[in-house]
Amino acid sequence: MAIERKDAWASGEAYEPYVGRWSRLVARHFLAWLNVPPGGDWLDIGCGTGALCQQILDHASPRRVTGVDPSDGFVAFARQKVTDPRATFQLGDAQEIPVADDSADATVSGSDKFRSRSGESYL
pLDDT, position 25: 74
Q: Is 35 left (phi over 0), alpha (psi -120 to 50) or beta?
A: left
Average pLDDT per 10 consecutive residues for the chain, totaling 123 residues: 55 63 78 95 93 94 96 93 97 85 91 55 48
Q: The pTM is what?
A: 0.80
Distance CA 105, CA 91 (A): 20
Task: Supply the pLDDT for residue 99.
Answer: 87
Q: What is the pLDDT of residue 5?
A: 47
Domain coverage including residue 35? 9-108
Task: Write the single-letter amino acid at 47.
Answer: C
- Residue 123 located in a structural domain: no
Residue 2 lies in a domain: no
User: Is 120 contained in some domain?
Assistant: no
State the total domains in the chain.
1
Q: Is residue 38 part of a domain?
A: yes
Supply the pLDDT for residue 18: 59
So what's the pLDDT on residue 27? 85
Domain at 101, CATH number: 3.40.50.150
